[in-house]
Amino acid sequence: MPHEEHYGTVTESGRLVLDDQDAFKAAIRALSGKPVELTIRRKDSKRSLPQNGYLHSKTGPFRMMAEHTGDSIEAIKTALMGHCWGWHEVVGVTVPVKPRTSDMTISECIYFIDWVVPWAAMEWGVIVMLPNETDRLRWEELALAERERDQELV
């Protein structure tokens, strides 16, 4: 049987309330009489909107590499997700294990960003700014625009 994940919430009294109790029971029945491994951990949230914004920003990895290669942003996203997370076959077609950025958790997206910046430089010669560098660039652009406005008033 393939790996299954089930989700729920632990109440204040320590009781586990499953999101889909019927699916969990079916999985348990399918494993009747077999040894199992059970892992319980806090569920990580999906990648954040600021993380997604960085990945798609004009100085983020998707746009920078799309401009460098001439490929579409979607093609670059697919290639990078596959290079980072691996590939598998679905109906005879090779696709990324994680096909969309929305499939990543916050922690996975941090890993992806930490992976993609040096990978882009080493593999394709593309220099991608880190998130804190793009923030600095935005502040510098705002300061420049403000100085230009001030010059126009003089």
Q: pLDDT per residue over 18-29, tens digit each?
A: 888 998 888 889
pLDDT at residue 1 greater than cutoff 50: no
Distance of CA 57 to the CA centre of its chain: 14
Residue ranges of domains in the chain: 1-43, 49-153
Helix, strand or coil, per DSSP, at residue 105: strand
**Greatest mean pLDDT among 15-19, 82-86, 96-100:** 82-86
CA angle 51, 7, 45 (to 5 degrees): 10
CA dihedral 94, 95, 96, 101 (to 10 degrees): 170
What is the C-alpha separation between 31 and 26, in angstroms, rounded? 9
pLDDT at residue 135 greater than cutoff 70: no
pLDDT at residue 16 greater than cutoff 80: yes
Model pLDDT, residue 133 = 74
Buried b (16+ CB within 10 A) or exposed e, 33-66: eeeeeeeeeeeeebbeeebbebbebebbbbbbbb
